[in-house]
Amino acid sequence: MLRRFTPIFIILISMASVQGSSSLAKHLFPILGPEGMTAWRLFFSSIMLIFIFKPWRKPISKQAWKYIILYGLSLGFMNLSFYSAIARIPIGIAVAIELTGPIVVAMFSARKLLDFVWLAIAIVGLVLLLPLHQANTSLDIYGIILALCAGTCWALYILTGRKAGQLQGSSSVALASGLVCCIIFPIGVWHNGMAMFSLDVLPLAFIVAVLASAIPYALDVIALPKVPALTFSTLMSLSPVLGALSGFLFLQEKLSTNQWFSISLIIMSSIGTVLSIKRQPKIKPIAKCKS
């Protein structure tokens, strides 16, 4: 039985690593800002991914380049939007809102009435998070909009990444990450100037990249081939909970009862969406560049 649950435990550690990296990244915002933190995360992640996948070993077709560029843009601006969002709202709430991106992608294959019920539950959860009533007046509307942008980019990341992976294989994520780093890094420098290169923050920025990309990827390589796609997708639905716990433990971010209820509705919608989709085979590991 222990062997059966070991891959699930490894996936949970991988998810906790990603959410923990968000707390550390937010801790660095007063110095680097979301732009500088995104730039360094992409820079260090790109180096690691290029070293792992060695993309120069396979020729790249013109069609593959098109999807790799789109994949890279969705990846880069997903991270930038997410970091900009958590600079304004708690991590758990931002992760919950961002999760609507994959939910919408899944809904494109909706065929049953129950599928649309799950979507409606997610919408209700989102509406309850909006600062339209007394319970949520503390939430920044721009932070919510940025989290929705991150969710939109996540949806595009899934669609373009799937196509890029089909055309170029695993090396597509290294190419995409390197390309978008060339766009985001100058933005980070423009916003932060020489503070970007402070030796006090570079080691911490490197740790963020390791926690957000290197460790999750290494753990996924071990665990994902051993679990069904349904199990993995259901576990991913718990990301907002881990994000909220990370924010509480490391940043003292406390959520109201109403906010926890709203997050629970979005999680319920995600799990329901996954369970309503026809069971799929085990999935292959992919690099985790998600926020």
Partner residues linked to 50 by β-bridges: none
* Distance separating alpha carbons of residues 288 and 25, to the nearest angstrom: 17
284 assigned to some structural domain: no
144 assigned to some structural domain: yes
Structural domain span for residue 67 = 2-276
Largest CA distance in the chain: 57
66 assigned to some structural domain: yes
pLDDT at residue 48 above 70? yes
Q: At 182, is the pLDDT very low, low, confident or very high (cuts 50, 70, 90)? A: very high
pLDDT at residue 135 above 60? no
Mean pLDDT of 66-84: 95
pLDDT at residue 245 above 80? yes
SS3 state of residue 285: coil
133 assigned to some structural domain: yes
The CA-based angle 200-150-65, given to 5 degrees, is: 90
Within its chain, how far is the Cα of 36 from the centroid? 18
Q: How far is CA 250 from CA 41, 91, 203, in A?
A: 19, 11, 18
160 assigned to some structural domain: yes
103 assigned to some structural domain: yes
pTM above 0.85, yes or no: yes
Which pLDDT does position 217 carry in this prediction? 74
Which pLDDT does position 1 carry in this prediction? 53
* Distance separating alpha carbons of residues 122 and 133, to the nearest angstrom: 18
288 assigned to some structural domain: no
Q: What's the first-to-final CA gap in the chain, in angstroms? A: 32
- Long-range residue pairs from 196-200, CB within 8 A, at least 24 positions apart, any chain: 196/32, 196/36, 196/39, 196/40, 198/31, 200/31
Which pLDDT does position 61 carry in this prediction? 86
Higher-pLDDT residue of 213 and 71 is 71
281 assigned to some structural domain: no
Which pLDDT tens digit goes with each residue over 83-104? 999 999 999 999 999 988 888 8
Mean pLDDT of 244-270: 90
Mean pLDDT of 20-37: 94
Which pLDDT does position 134 carry in this prediction? 52
Number of domains forming the structure of the chain: 1
